[in-house]
């Protein structure tokens, strides 16, 4: 039966070879330079050493880049989170700024028309009908003072009138609806007529009817309410004249009006509950007009719309 090899033999052989190699290298060195054995060992082990060194450098570079990439990813995630937060804050700030601007213009309108009792309302939906454009308003409270037929104003001018009221909701008939008609006067030429909505599906507009051909109508002049119809207070801005066309026959000329109120982008409006009994600046009592006359629209004098410049 063969005798098992001693477990110490490989260790002894390895140590002996290491000591022998070291001794040969020491003896082989001459004047601090490697001799024949050293050069041989370097020549044999050089490629292996270079390969190991290159591999180690590649591993170290890969590890460093990988760790650095993890850090970069973490930084990018943090920056993206911060950017989202900044964008959200910017959007909130822009929203507050726009809301403050809308409220400021509403307050300016209320300050200009102290002769009118105004009730604020918020627009919650818009009708999508191709023929009858109707705004739907929600009121702050269930106010019994809000009734059908009352005018609706925005900072740009006249919006329309209340059509129906149901609880805290009301429908508004726009001045551009074909069922709407408003007695008006042109601010510069003082030509009188009736503004009737065109009801077009792609734009908000009205046409001026019963304009006498003998009168000079000026393009871009403002169109104001006369107050003669008993529905709208006098001096409210309806819009501006965009075109004038003279008819070859008949007594009247045609003109179109563009509302100055942004009917497609309304958020808040005022409902005219009634008169306050004051002048538009609130400094004096409103004096009733003499029978058969309208002081602010009297022929021969300048037109003075109350509260709206």
Asked whether residue 117 is assigned to any structural domain, the reply reads: yes
One domain for residues 162 and 272: yes
More confident of the two residues 171 and 93: 171
Q: Are residues 57 and 181 in the same domain?
A: no
Task: Assess whether 72 and 119 both reside in one domain.
Answer: no
Question: Are residue 56 and residue 151 in the same domain, yes or no?
Answer: no
In this structure, the answer to whether residues 222 and 139 fall within a common structural domain is yes
Which residue did the predictor score with more confidence, 152 or 79?
152
Instruction: Give whichever of 45-49, 101-105, 166-170, 179-183 has the largest mean pLDDT.
Output: 179-183
Tell me, yes or no, whether 140 and 260 share the same domain: yes
Give the integer Cα–Cα distance in Å for 291 and 294.
8
CA 202 to the chain's CA centroid = 22
Residue 81 lies in a domain: yes
Of the given ranges (60-74, 104-118, 208-222), which has the lowest mean pLDDT? 60-74
Return the CATH number at 255.
2.40.10.350
Q: Are residues 50 and 164 in the same domain?
A: no
pLDDT at 12 (0 to 100):
74
Together in a domain, 226 and 77: no
- 90, 123, 153: which is the final residue of a domain? 90
Residue 202 to residue 154: CA distance in whole angstroms: 21
Q: Which two tokens stand for residue 158?
A: 């006249």
**Domain end position, chosen among 56, 90, 124:** 90
The answer to whether position 96 is within a domain reads no
In sequence order, the 6+-apart residues with CB closer than 8 A to the CB of 246 are 213, 253, 254
Residue 71 inside a domain? The answer is yes
Q: Is 284 domain-assigned?
A: no
Two tokens, residue 265: 């982008």
3-state secondary structure the chain: CCCCCCCCHHHHHHHHHHHHHHHHHHHHCECCECCHHHHHHHHHHHHHHHHHHHHHHHHHHHHHHHHHHHHHHHHHHHHHHHHHHHHHHHHHHHHHHHHHHHHHHHHHHHHHCCCEEEEEEEEEEECCCCCCCEEEEEECCCCCCCCCCCEEEECCEEEEEEEEEECCEEEEEECCCCCCEEEEEECCCCCEEEEEECCCCCCCCEEEEEEECCCCCCCCCEEEECCCCCCCCCCCEEEEEEEEECCCCCCEEEEEEEECCCCCCCCEEEEEEEECCECCCCCCECCCCCCCCCHHHCCCCCCCCCCCC
Q: Is residue 195 part of a domain?
A: yes
**What is residue 62's predicted lDDT score, i.e. its pLDDT?**
66
pLDDT in tens, 251-303: 788 889 999 998 888 888 899 998 888 877 667 776 665 544 443 433 333 33
- pLDDT-derived band at 150 (thresholds 50, 70, 90) equals very high
Question: Residue 123, class by beta-carbon neighbours within 10 Å (0-12 exposed, 13-18 middle, 19+ buried)?
Answer: middle
> For the chain, what is the domain count?
2
Listed in sequence order, the residues at least 6 apart from 65 whose beta carbon sits closer than 8 Å to its beta carbon are: none
Instruction: Give the residue-averaged pLDDT of 115-127.
Output: 84
Q: Same structural domain for residues 233 and 163?
A: yes
108 domain-assigned = no
Residue 244 sits in the same domain as residue 202 = yes
Q: Are residues 183 and 246 in the same domain?
A: yes
Q: Which domain holds residue 36?
A: 12-90
Q: With a cut of 50, say whether residue 74 has pLDDT above it.
A: yes
45 and 174 fall within a common domain = no
> How many percent of the chain have pLDDT more than 70?
63
Q: What is the pLDDT of residues 178-234, one digit of tens each?
A: 999 999 999 988 889 999 999 888 889 999 988 887 777 778 899 999 998 888 999
């Amino acid at each position: 039966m063969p005798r098992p090899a001693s477990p110490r033999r490989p260790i002894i052989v390895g140590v002996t070879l290491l000591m022998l190699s070291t001794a040969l290298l020491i003896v082989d060195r001459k004047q601090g330079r490697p001799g024949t054995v050293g050069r041989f060992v370097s020549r044999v082990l050089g490629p292996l050493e270079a390969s190991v060194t290159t591999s180690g450098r590649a591993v170290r570079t890969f590890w460093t880049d990988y760790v650095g990439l993890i850090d970069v990813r973490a930084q990018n995630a943090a920056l993206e989170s911060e950017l989202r937060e900044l964008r959200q804050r910017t959007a909130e700030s822009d929203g507050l700024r726009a809301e403050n601007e809308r409220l400021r213009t509403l307050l300016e309108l209320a300050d200009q028309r102290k002769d009118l009792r105004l009730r604020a309302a918020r627009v919650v939906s818009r009708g999508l009908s191709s023929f009858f454009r109707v705004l739907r308003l929600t009121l702050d409270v269930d106010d019994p003072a809000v009734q059908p037929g009352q005018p609706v104003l925005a900072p740009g001018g006249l919006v329309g009138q209340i059509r129906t009221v149901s609880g805290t909701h009301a429908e508004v008939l726009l001045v551009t609806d074909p069922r709407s008609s408003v007695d008006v006067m042109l601010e510069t030429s003082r030509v009188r007529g009736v503004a009737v909505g065109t009801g077009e599906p792609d734009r908000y507009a009205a046409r001026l009817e019963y304009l006498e051909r003998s009168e000079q109508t000026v393009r871009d002049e403002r169109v104001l309410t006369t107050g003669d119809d008993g529905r709208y207070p006098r001096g409210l801005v309806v819009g501006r004249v965009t075109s004038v066309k003279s008819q070859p026959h008949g007594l009247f000329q045609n003109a179109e009006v563009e509302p100055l109120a942004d009917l497609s982008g309304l958020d808040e409006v005022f409902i005219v509950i009634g008169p306050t009994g004051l002048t538009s600046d609130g400094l004096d009592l409103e004096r009733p007009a003499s029978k058969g006359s309208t002081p602010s629209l009297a022929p021969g004098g300048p037109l003075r719309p109350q509260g709206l410049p």
